[in-house]
Amino acid sequence: MSFGNQKITKVLIKMKGVFLRSHIQQQCLGIFCGFGFYLLSAWAYANCEGCLCPGDPCNLCPLPAMENAPSKPNEPELCARIREKVPPTSAQPGSNEYFPNLDKSIMVCMKEGGDVIRNRQRNSEFSARFYCKPPTK
């Protein structure tokens, strides 16, 4: 009987070793993939092209203008004209008061020669859903 128990014990020890190795491999794979995704996102962030890049290369205006947002020191004339024609609002995005202001500010932006840019990936620098890009001279 003890011979059978020894065999079972050896099999269980081998199974435990295989499980431990596969668990370690899974952890290493997870760490490797996470690090790879980090490097990929850092590369994409460093090679950002377009207007929604750090530093606001296109000098965008948020649409609609919000009451609590200060104006930028080097604000384009188009942004000031949009704020004159569509006063800044305190309405939260998604509310009934927000959409008419958004529509009016988009119309003014386009009439004045600007382009409307939709922001799908909001962050602290670009928190608005839509921006007006002033025309290039």
- 8 Å CB contact between 102 and 63: yes
**How far, in Å, CA of 101 to CA of 88, rounded?**
8
Are residue 67 and residue 128 in the same domain, yes or no? yes
Same structural domain for residues 29 and 83? Answer: no
For the chain, first and last CA: distance in Å?
Answer: 92
**Segments forming the whole domain that contains residue 113:** 61-133
User: Model confidence at 130, in pLDDT bands (50, 70, 90)?
Assistant: very high
Is 111 found in the same domain as 79? Answer: yes
Gap between the Cα atoms of 92 and 107, Å rounded: 20
Same domain? For 89 and 41 the reply is no
Q: Same structural domain for residues 13 and 73?
A: no
pLDDT digits (tens, 9 = 90+) for 6-18: 776 666 666 666 6
pTM above 0.75, yes or no: no
Indicate whether 28 belongs to any domain. Answer: yes
Whether residue 3 sits in one domain with residue 33: yes
Tens digits of per-residue pLDDT, 69-116? 777 778 888 988 998 999 888 888 888 888 999 999 999 999 999 999
Question: What integer pLDDT is reported at residue 69 of this predicted model?
Answer: 78
Check whether residue 80 and residue 123 sit in a common domain: yes
Same domain for 83 and 23? no
Can you give the pLDDT at residue 17? Answer: 64
Residue 125 neighbours by CB under 8 Å, 6+ apart: 54, 56
Q: Is residue 111 part of a domain?
A: yes
